[in-house]
Structure 1
Amino acid sequence: MKPEILMTARNARIEERLDRRFELHFLTDYAHRTECLAAIGDRISGIFYANSGGRIGESVFDRVPKLEIVSVISSGVDYVDLVAASDRGIVVTNAGGVNAIDVAEFALGLLIGAGRNISGGVYHARSGQWEERRMGLTRRISERPLGILGLGNIGMEVARRAEAFAMPVFYHNRRHRIDAPYIYVDNLPELARKVDFLIVTAPGGEETHHMVDRAVMDALGPEGVLVNLGRGTIVDTQALVSALSEGTLGAAALDVLEGEPVVPSALLALPNLMLTPHMASLTKDALRCGFDLAAANLEAHFAGERVLSPVTL
């Protein structure tokens, strides 16, 4: 008998591929997840997971006793309880790295947008203030020092692109990367003092919670720019509002927020802040690669082979 897989997202190309080896079930065929799990939970051996499937933890694992693997289409696995999965011997995989180029491109776009006040220019042009242009002068991006918090797949792609702007690249990471030709700084406030721009690509979690605090923002200074594409919890939102309002930090651009999708009104009122709705990785290319890798992980696991991209605690 074919292993039975619960798909939390529909994709005709992937369904055709997986249908050869698995019996597929679709979350979208049910009104609620609880209804789905009650009907077929005891038959499911694997979950093909997109974030639309809701959080996966103890309550799901209890209803899916045969579950062997959760294969996630994105790099982030925030919605999966990794501790509970590990305790039950459930393999968790992700699509780490497949969207690194896409997010890195977006990071540089946000940096230029915030640093050169492109959103302010768009507002002036659209509101009939073309001749006024009273936005103040900005500074060039090229040749100015860049700091990266989190030199993983995305951080490395950001750094490579920054080289095209002749930017000296510094980074703070859990560890010094001997394979990276960039300058390691062992604490974040010191990194912020050395650079004009800080791009955050670190993962979320307790270890990085509010790591970018008021001290880091003040160290960046009144001409500094902060860009966050990691997780919203990394940046202290209240401190950011204060720093931008008081001018101790020049500008910021956020693609992720604490408590998203709710956007605090205090953020919306800031003219020196760019906001985008967690869209850095949303390209056709990244999505296709994420679906392909998630499918390949399922195929490898049920063929008795090592999965391609396991997530470990």
Structure 2
Amino acid sequence: MKSLDVLMPVEGMGLIGDLIGARLPVHRLWLEPNPDLWLAEWGPRIRAIAVAGHIRADEAYMRRFPSLEIISSFGVGYDHIDAKAAARLGIIVTNTPGVLDDEVADTALGLMLMAVRQLPQAERYLRAGLWPKGAYPLTPSLRGRTVGIVGLGRIGKAIATRVSGFGLDIVYHGRHAQTDVPYRYYPSLVEMAKASDILIIVAPGGPSTRHIVNAEVLEALGPEGVLINIARGSLVDEKALIGALRTGKILAAGLDVYENEPNVPAELIALPNAVLLPHVGSASVKTRQAMAECVAENILAWADGKPPLTPVPETPWQGRWGKDG
């Protein structure tokens, strides 16, 4: 194993630092009294970064570390890292796909059930002592609905498997049709929204997908439509969504992600037809531990001179990428 100085820029799961620190020197930037002064001295020595919390790693950020070889990121989404710039600089970027698919898919189905059947509202009704005064009003049903999945990747397929178990029809939208799935493909998101009763958003974040769910898509979804977002808040025009929920242009929404986390608009919180979770899609002890292990294992494999386990498509493993030391 070659020696790599590993930077953890922000505090995250302590397990990540523990696993890497058992074999490599780990520097926890948030503990430094003067981070800028520390980076000026240590930046040139850093060869690996473990991203266990939110940082914006653009090209300027990466250039602060001229010896950087690998960024190992916690989570399947990596829109906070400019992976194309990393490729130009010869830096590998890894994420944690696979280990969180089932957990996030479970959360999506939970949000769908809660939003359609008004389960959080019914619980609040009981807790407020209103049941003795009369039964909770009848709710909409899942029966007979078509579910449109935006982004049929690993998590999207896991959601589709679960939705099929509910006896619902499935259609999907993405960059291209997939020949190995039995679901109808819509090249137009607006047309799929017209054909769907429930939209589940699972596509990656980033500039290319920003606000792809806009007022036009919500209008197409219609007054009986339900929006579920477990991907990134940036995919949905939050102002348009608030307007659609407030005016009845759509029936309900179930959200785990927001445009400006952890700040959720007060207008959204006030809406009775919005089910809101604090970005907990993968937040179980078992899944987060597996994600932490994946972050560490990517860096440890790299230090051993082995290929990274889960490089992102923009920085594929092609032989001995990077700088040997």
TM-score of the alignment, normalized to the shorter chain, above 0.5? yes
**Rounded Cα–Cα distance in structure 1 between residues aligned with 2:13 and 2:243:** 44
Q: Who is 2:67 aligned against?
A: 66
Unaligned 5+ runs, structure 2: 315-325
The 1:306–1:221 alpha-carbon spacing in structure 2 relative to 1, beyond 3 Å, is same
The 1:253–1:58 alpha-carbon spacing in structure 2 relative to 1, beyond 3 Å, is same
Unaligned 5+ runs, structure 1: none
The 1:189–1:123 alpha-carbon spacing in structure 2 relative to 1, beyond 3 Å, is same
> How many angstroms does 1:260 deviate by?
2.2
Instruction: Assess if the C-alpha contact under 8 Å between 1:56 and 1:81 holds in 2.
Output: yes
Amino acid at match of 1:205: G
Q: Which moved more, 1:107-116 or 1:57-66?
A: 57-66
Q: Who is 1:195 aligned against?
A: 196
Say if 2:253 is the partner of 1:252.
yes
> How many angstroms does 1:17 deviate by?
4.3
1:71 partner SS: strand
Q: Who is 1:25 aligned against?
A: 27
The 1:225–1:134 alpha-carbon spacing in structure 2 relative to 1, beyond 3 Å, is farther
> How many angstroms does 1:306 deviate by?
2.0
Task: Name the count of aligned residue pairs.
Answer: 312
The 1:95–1:36 alpha-carbon spacing in structure 2 relative to 1, beyond 3 Å, is farther
> How many angstroms does 1:312 deviate by?
3.2
The 1:118–1:191 alpha-carbon spacing in structure 2 relative to 1, beyond 3 Å, is same
Which of 33, 49, 52 matches 1:50?
52
2:132 partner SS: coil
Q: Which moved more, 1:61-70 or 1:110-119?
A: 61-70
Instruction: Assess if the C-alpha contact under 8 Å between 1:143 and 1:165 holds in 2.
Output: no
**Rounded Cα–Cα distance in structure 1 between residues aligned with 2:271 and 2:282:** 25
Q: Who is 2:209 aligned against?
A: 208
**Rounded Cα–Cα distance in structure 2 between residues aligned with 1:144 and 1:227:** 14
**Rounded Cα–Cα distance in structure 2 between residues aligned with 1:19 and 1:206:** 35
Query: What is the 5 A alignment of 1:48-197?
Result: 48-52=50-54, 54-132=55-133, 136-197=137-198
Query: What is the 5 A alignment of 1:293-304?
Result: 293-304=294-305
The 1:218–1:135 alpha-carbon spacing in structure 2 relative to 1, beyond 3 Å, is farther
**Rounded Cα–Cα distance in structure 1 between residues aligned with 2:141 and 2:114:** 11
**Rounded Cα–Cα distance in structure 2 between residues aligned with 1:123 and 1:254:** 18
Deviations 1:10-65 (A, max 9, x none): 6665555434542222234313542442342222111121125x322344333322
Instruction: Assess if the C-alpha contact under 8 Å between 2:72 and 2:299 holds in 1.
Output: yes
Amino acid at match of 1:43: R
2:106 partner SS: helix
Query: What is the RMSD computed on CA atoms of the aligned residues?
Result: 2.1
TM-score, structure 2 as length reference: 0.88
Q: Who is 2:317 aligned against?
A: none
**Rounded Cα–Cα distance in structure 2 between residues aligned with 1:177 and 1:271:** 37
> How many angstroms does 1:266 deviate by?
1.8
Which of 39, 42, 48 matches 1:40?
42
Instruction: Assess if the C-alpha contact under 8 Å between 1:121 and 1:133 holds in 2.
Output: no
TM-score, structure 1 as length reference: 0.91
**Rounded Cα–Cα distance in structure 2 between residues aligned with 1:266 and 1:96:** 34
Deviations 1:44-102 (A, max 9, x none): 111121125x3223443333221110111211213222233222111111112221111
RCO higher in structure (CA 8 A, sep ≥6): 2
The 1:103–1:296 alpha-carbon spacing in structure 2 relative to 1, beyond 3 Å, is same
Amino acid at match of 2:248: G
1:311 partner SS: coil
1:131 partner SS: helix
Q: Who is 1:7 aligned against?
A: 8
> How many angstroms does 1:204 deviate by?
1.3
Say if 2:278 is the partner of 1:261.
no
Deviations 1:239-292 (A, max 9, x none): 212211221211111111112222222212211111111111111122111111
Instruction: Assess if the C-alpha contact under 8 Å between 1:176 and 1:184 holds in 2.
Output: yes
Percent identical:
39
**Rounded Cα–Cα distance in structure 2 between residues aligned with 1:63 and 1:291:** 25
Deviations 1:133-190 (A, max 9, x none): 5764223224421110011111111101111101111110111112222221111111
**Rounded Cα–Cα distance in structure 2 between residues aligned with 1:132 and 1:193:** 39
**Rounded Cα–Cα distance in structure 1 between residues aligned with 2:246 and 2:32:** 47
